[in-house]
Amino acid sequence: QVQLVESGGGSVQAGGSLKLSCVASGYIATVNAMAWFRQAPGKEREAVAVIHTGGGATCYADSAKVRFTISRDKGRGTISVDLQMNNLTPEDTAIYYCAAAEMEVRTVTAGCSSWLNRAEYAYWGQGTQVTVSS
């Protein structure tokens, strides 16, 4: 099993920044991608950004391009993934979830749109609230 623990959510005014962090532990040997998703009230959970834990390749949803940056670091028995969010707007208000995947080769080679597919992720954190006020 893989455990994911998020931190860093909070409240900020429009135009501000927040950094979310996620630490994966447990049986992470086969995890090759980690991502951030978000779910706003009344909406479906959507992908924000993905990073491959090996080579570091990244992929962003259109809403996150330019403003958000995903990064990763590997420790002894853990993988840490951060999401730096800048120039936040009220539309970014949501619960943000960290997720981990054991992507098959065909998914990896399929490219960004496949990496953003929620169905690829088997492991999820509990979520952290981000609230952006106008």
Instruction: Supply the pLDDT for residue 125.
Output: 97
pLDDT (0 to 100) of residue 121:
97
pLDDT of residue 110: 86
Amino acid identity of residue 107, one-letter, is: T
For the chain (length 134 residues), average pLDDT per consecutive 10? 96 98 96 97 96 94 96 93 98 98 87 92 97 97
